[in-house]
Structure 1
Amino acid sequence: MDLLEVNWLAIVLAAVCGFLIGGIWYGPIMSKKWMGAVGLTEEDVQGGNMGLIYGGAMVFALISSAMLAHMFYRLGQPPIHVKMMISTGIALTFIIPAIGTNYLFSRKSKALFFIDAGYWLLFYMAMGLVHAWLS
């Protein structure tokens, strides 16, 4: 794949959209439940290295978005509904089972699993939608 053939705007906007979903999900929607599930207080959260945390999360979102763009390009830019099925399927069959396995062995709570699984499902659905509209 030629780097110029990639829709860089779609890659960046999809990553930003996924990142913003995280801000909403782990902010006003699930912040209290998430903090309780991971055992953090407001002070713990505020005391973190926010540049590293948010910067790293954005880099990871860009990597995921670039991979989606690469897959869609290799598949000949499938229709919108296929892009949505693929991006949702990635969350349901790769991401969520992977974190589920980790949570089982690390004995993390079901509540944390469902909070994080819900986020990753929304993350990949949002990125798929952006790629579907812009590519």
Structure 2
Amino acid sequence: MKSVNWIGLVAALVAGQVFGVVWYGNLFSVAWANAMGLTEADFVGQEWRMALGVVNMLLILLALDLAMRRLEVRGWLAGAKLGAFIGLFFGATVSALNYIYAAGPLVLLLIDGGYQVVSYALLGALLSGLRRAPKAE
């Protein structure tokens, strides 16, 4: 835990939560809720789920930070590329299972899968871009 990029992790956690609100709350709220078959009444009393979302993102960030350290990813662009790669080939493919096996609507796959790719790119850029340079010996 000593080598975790805490500055980048906290910045990515905050940015990730804000991005999630913009993506699902502003850009795609109506389309997403319709695709899920939900109404505003379904969200009443569900604020505790937001806390679980923060914990979930914290776990994702710890794993992404570990991957970046192991792969020696440095810089904003390299972090964004690795994040987008992981978002596409891990996050979006897991989201695709709802479309493939649960016969979910295509719009839901595009919204959720797109969120995975774009958010992981953002998280990766912040984690890698805000990493301190290694100390010279």
Superposition TM-score, scaled by structure 2 size = 0.88
Higher helix share: 1
Match of 1:99 among 86, 95, 110: 95
Identity level (%): 29
Q: Can you list the C-alpha shifts for 1:34-69, whole angstroms capped at 9, x where unaligned?
A: 110000011112x24212x11000001111111111
Matched residue SS, 1:91: helix
Aligned-partner Cα distance in 2 for 1:113–1:76: 32
Consecutive unaligned residues of structure 1, counting only runs of 5 or more, are none
What is the aligned partner in structure 2 of residue 78 from structure 1?
A: 74
Aligned residues: 131
Q: 1:80 Cα shift? A: 3.4
Matched residue SS, 2:72: coil
* RMSD of aligned residue pairs (Cα, Å): 1.4
Consecutive unaligned residues of structure 2, counting only runs of 5 or more, are 132-137
1:50 to 2:47 alignment: yes
Superposition TM-score, scaled by structure 1 size = 0.89
Q: 1:128 Cα shift? A: 0.9
Aligned-partner Cα distance in 1 for 2:40–2:88: 31
What is the aligned partner in structure 2 of residue 21 from structure 1?
A: 19
